[in-house]
Amino acid sequence: MQEQNHVIGETAGKIYRILEKSSAMEPASLQKEAGVTDSALFNQALGWLAREDKIDFQKRMRGWTISLAGVLAERKG
């Protein structure tokens, strides 16, 4: 169990670092960029970041985008 938590945490860190360099990304693009082939692991890592209020989800006309929490609001205003 601790090993799985470690892997999820490492994946969450990878996702966070990618989002630091971009404004917002669609989930599929983010997963590909992070190199995470396991969708369950990717979703668990997103859940980890969401639970810690590190990321925001934005509904778009065609799907969703993900960004670091507060980043889009800072860039708009």
Predicted structure pTM score: 0.87
Band of the pLDDT at 70, cuts 50, 70, 90? Answer: confident
Query: What value, to the nearest 5°, has the Cα angle with vertex 58 and ends 14 and 29?
Result: 40
71: CATH? 1.10.10.10
Amino acid (1-letter code) at residue 63: G
What domain range is 36 assigned to? 2-76
Number of domains observed in the structure of the chain: 1
Beta strands in 1-77 (DSSP E): 55-60, 63-68
- The SS3 call for residue 25 is strand
Band of the pLDDT at 72, cuts 50, 70, 90? Answer: low
Mean pLDDT of the chain: 91
pLDDT, tens digit, for every residue of 3-48? 989 999 999 999 999 999 988 999 999 999 999 999 999 999 999 9
